[in-house]
Amino acid sequence: MAPTEYDVKPEPGDLIEIFRVGYQHWAIYVGDGYVIHLAPPSEHAQAGASSMMSVLCDIAIVKKEEIWSVVGNDKYSINNLLDNKYEPRQVRDIIREAQSLLGKELPYCVFRGNCEHFVTELRYGKPQSRQVRKVLEIGVVFGLAVAGIGLLAAIFGPKDKEKTQEQAMRNL
C-alpha cells in the first residue's frame, strides 16, 4: 500500500488523485475506506502502462471499491483542486449522487468525460479536467513551436532554390 502524499486520512467527499504511469486516475472518497470512481475496462491498480488504453474506450463503469484496491502500489493524494474556485456541494448530496450511479455504464471520453470530469462534477457540480487542459496546452505550445520553426525557415532559409541546388551539386 502506498501512503498518501501527506499521510492524511481523506474525508467523505474528498477527491483522490492517483498517480498512474503517464496520467492520473481520479476517485471520490465516500467513507469507511471506500471510493467511487469511473473506471474504463483497462483501469485497475496493476494495469501499469496498459491502462493508458482507456483513451480508446467509449464506455466506463461507476464502481465502489476499497481505496487500497484502486490505488494499488501507486501514490495518491487528496486533491480538492477546485475548492478555491467553486463551493463544494454538500457531502450528503455528493455521496447520494455517487451511490445512485453505482454499476451504471456511462459514456467515456478522455477529453469530455473522463474520471476527473466525473469526480469534479460530483464535488462541484462542474465537470472539469485539469490534466486534459494541461495536455491540450502542451499540444498548443508544441504546435506553435513547430509552426515558428517553419516560419523562421521560410524567412531566413535559402532565397534562391536553384543556387542552393547548384551549391549542393558542387559540394559533391
Quote the CA–CA distance of 91 and 10 in Å, as a whole number.
13
Side-chain-side CA neighbours of residue 94 (13 Å): 27
- Read off the amino acid at residue 139: G
Copy the grid coordinates of residue 115: 474520471
pLDDT tens digit sequence for 123-163: 999 999 987 554 444 444 444 444 555 554 555 555 555 55
How high is the pLDDT of residue 135?
46
User: Could you say which of 44, 57, 115, 117 is catalytic?
Assistant: 115
Which three cell numbers, joined as nine digits, stand for 11?
Answer: 474525508
Is 37 marked active-site? yes
pLDDT tens, residue order, the chain (172 aa): 455 454 689 999 999 999 988 889 999 999 999 999 999 887 766 544 444 545 567 899 999 999 999 999 999 999 999 999 999 999 999 999 999 999 999 999 888 889 999 999 999 999 999 875 544 444 444 444 445 555 545 555 555 555 555 555 555 5
pLDDT given at position 73? 92
Element (H, E) at 132: helix 130-156
Q: Could you tell me which CATH number the domain at 15-128 has?
A: 3.90.1720.10
Domain boundaries, the chain: 15-128, 135-170
Q: Would you state the pLDDT for residue 155? A: 54
Using CA atoms, how far residue 1 sits from 9, 10, 16, 68, 73, in Å, is: 14, 15, 15, 6, 5
For 124-131, the CB contacts below 8 A with 24+ separation are 124/82, 124/86, 124/87, 124/88, 124/89, 125/86, 125/89, 126/82, 126/86, 128/82, 130/81, 131/23, 131/24
**pLDDT of 54:** 53
DSSP state of 89: P
Radius of gyration of the chain (CA): 23
pLDDT value of position 66: 96
Provide the whole-model pTM.
0.71
Respond yes or no: is residue 109 known to be catalytic: no
